[in-house]
Amino acid sequence: MTTTQTDAMATSLGNLQDLLPALEKLYTDIHAHPELSMQETRTAALAADRLRSAGYEVTTGVGKTGVVGLLRNGAGPTVMLRADMDALPVKEATGAPYASKVEAVDREGNSVPVMHACGHDMHVSWLVGAATLMAQTRAQWRGTLMAVFQPGEETAEGARAMIDDGLFQRFPRPDVVLGQHVMVGPAGAVAGRTGVITSAADSLEIRLFGRGAHGSMPQASIDPVVMAAATVLRLQTIVSRELAPTEAAVITVGSLQAGTKENVIPDEAVIKLNVRTFDDGVRTRVLDAITRIANAEAAASGAPRPPQITPLDRYALVNNDAAAAQRVVEAFRAFFPPERVRQTGPTSASEDFGSFGAEWHVPSVFWFVGGTDPDIYAKAKGENRLNEIPTNHNPGFLPVIHPTLETGVETLVVAARAWLSPAT
């Protein structure tokens, strides 16, 4: 990015201060009214309304609740900016004045509390802000900006739903796909890397079959609770004893359900687990080991039938294109002070963002924006207590609004302008 381009960028982002009050109001409104995956009708309507007001061609209902806005501004590259919209079935415990009190019905028919515990409310506000500023400063650039508000990231179905609904056929093919995520880290800082930035993820359900009996007569049973407990413990040995220390993986059993009464041995037990890996070969070995262990523990218990193993969802690796990532980083370093642009390692969080670039066969770049009060972060780091800061998906997760809000708008605009042609 040249000095002239950097000066033009600063001029266009100068309008951000005037826009901030409206963006903050939008953010707190979305935070107070979260919606579960594939149910984001209100959020999508807010995003669509803001895009129309800024002069975009808007298409709604893409992949059920997705929104696509196009701003055609002459000949030049096409840049896609993506934000996810969905919230989580988590009861908020932040104590914020705009905290969610929402309950909703999930796809199983259960009433659950809902919270933006992952920061997608911030993502929507960032993209609304960036799209608005890009429209206001269209005299400075040429090309096409495509703003994509995606449903269902938390269930790994939103990107796929938009693709299956004709995203690639109905809209122009971008030259680059750009996205970002708020994470624990000092607010105002941005962090990225070349190559793999988020892990692959696989969620599985293992249904173990036993034979029920009275709790006082265990000899008449094949106890699926014991079978499940043994399976859970043995699964932990995959990482500790089957992978080399240089190979990274995470296996988390998040749910173990069996029985309804203390003196009744049930017929079945259900384990739900999540796997994170950074390498396709490691992923295959881990999944094969899970199947082997589940079958072996069932056989060792004399189970009447093998376990039923059902995939629940899958996220692919998000892999930043080397040349595209370097271009974005150089733009960030030209705009931000050096201490605000950082290098990060791969994270075991997962995202379906990578589907757009991988399946469109175009480069994509994904990065992180810090959302933690810088003083709190520095104090926790100095006291070796970073693990006590509420992370994404925690009931206490709440980014500080400033400077998180303005930083995320700035990064999207700076990255987009690194690709779009300057006006001549």
Per-residue pLDDT tens for 293-337?
A: 999 999 999 999 999 999 999 999 999 999 999 999 999 999 999
283 and 210 part of one domain: yes
3-state secondary structure at position 416: helix
Residue at which a domain ends, from 292, 314, 336: 314
Band the pLDDT of 139: cuts 50, 70, 90. Answer: very high
257 and 301 part of one domain: yes
pLDDT at 409 over 60: yes
Integer Cα distance of 410 and 402 in angstroms: 13
337 and 253 part of one domain: no
Band the pLDDT of 6: cuts 50, 70, 90. Answer: low
CATH number for the domain that contains residue 130: 3.40.630.10
37 and 154 part of one domain: yes
166 and 103 part of one domain: yes
Integer Cα distance of 88 and 91 in angstroms: 9
Band the pLDDT of 68: cuts 50, 70, 90. Answer: very high
Residue at which a domain ends, from 265, 284, 314: 314
Strands ordered across the beta sheet of 200-209? 249-258, 268-277, 200-209, 308-315
Structure tokens at 202: 């696989």
CATH number for the domain that contains residue 268: 3.30.70.360
pLDDT at 1 over 60: no
Band the pLDDT of 10: cuts 50, 70, 90. Answer: low
**pLDDT computed for residue 231 by the predictor:** 98
**pLDDT computed for residue 91 by the predictor:** 98
**pLDDT computed for residue 424 by the predictor:** 82
Band the pLDDT of 57: cuts 50, 70, 90. Answer: very high
The 10s digit of each residue's pLDDT in 356-388 is 999 999 999 999 999 999 999 999 999 999 999
Position 45, amino acid: A
Integer Cα distance of 307 and 207 in angstroms: 5
- Non-local CB neighbours of 341 within 8 Å, separated by 6+ positions: 189, 190, 191, 329, 332, 333
Helix, strand, coil shares, percent, the chain, to 5? 40, 30, 30
269 and 417 part of one domain: no
- Please give, one letter per residue, the 3-state secondary structure of 73-122: ECCCCEEEEEEECCCECCCCCCCCCCCCCCEEECCCCCEEECECCCCHHH
Range of the domain at 387: 3-198+317-422
Band the pLDDT of 3: cuts 50, 70, 90. Answer: low
The percent of residues above 90 in pLDDT, for the chain, comes to 95
Give the mean pLDDT of 119-134: 98
Integer Cα distance of 401 and 395 in angstroms: 17
162 and 97 part of one domain: yes
Helix-helix angle 3-13:322-335, to 10 degrees:
70
Name which of 2-6, 110-114, 158-162, 409-413 the model is least confident about: 2-6
**Residues marked as catalytic:** 86, 153
Integer Cα distance of 141 and 114 in angstroms: 40
Strand partners, 195: 320
Band the pLDDT of 12: cuts 50, 70, 90. Answer: low
Report how far apart, in Å, the C-alpha atoms of 275 and of each of 24, 159, 390 are.
36, 20, 22
Give the mean pLDDT of 111-133: 98
Structure tokens at 248: 């990274």
DSSP string for residues in 371-398: EE-HHHHHHHHHTT-GGGSPPTTSTT--
**pLDDT computed for residue 14 by the predictor:** 76
286 and 332 part of one domain: no
pLDDT at 8 over 90: no
Output DSSP code: residue 277: E
Structure tokens at 53: 């007001």
Domain count across the chain: 2
Q: Please choose, from the candidates 176, 73, 87, the residue with its C-alpha nearest in 3D space to the C-alpha of residue 131.
A: 73
pLDDT at 178 over 90: yes
- Non-local CB neighbours of 370 within 8 Å, separated by 6+ positions: 182, 183, 184, 185, 186, 187, 188, 189, 190, 191, 377, 404, 407
322 and 392 part of one domain: yes
Band the pLDDT of 13: cuts 50, 70, 90. Answer: confident
The 10s digit of each residue's pLDDT in 226-284 is 999 999 999 999 999 999 999 999 999 999 999 999 999 999 999 999 999 999 999 99
33 and 110 part of one domain: yes
Integer Cα distance of 402 and 405 in angstroms: 6
111 and 63 part of one domain: yes
Q: How far is CA 97 from the centre of its chain?
A: 25
83 and 179 part of one domain: yes
Structure tokens at 183: 């994470």
The 10s digit of each residue's pLDDT in 90-104 is 999 999 999 999 999
Residue at which a domain ends, from 314, 335, 356: 314
Region of 14 please: left (phi>0), alpha (psi -120 to 50) or beta. Answer: alpha
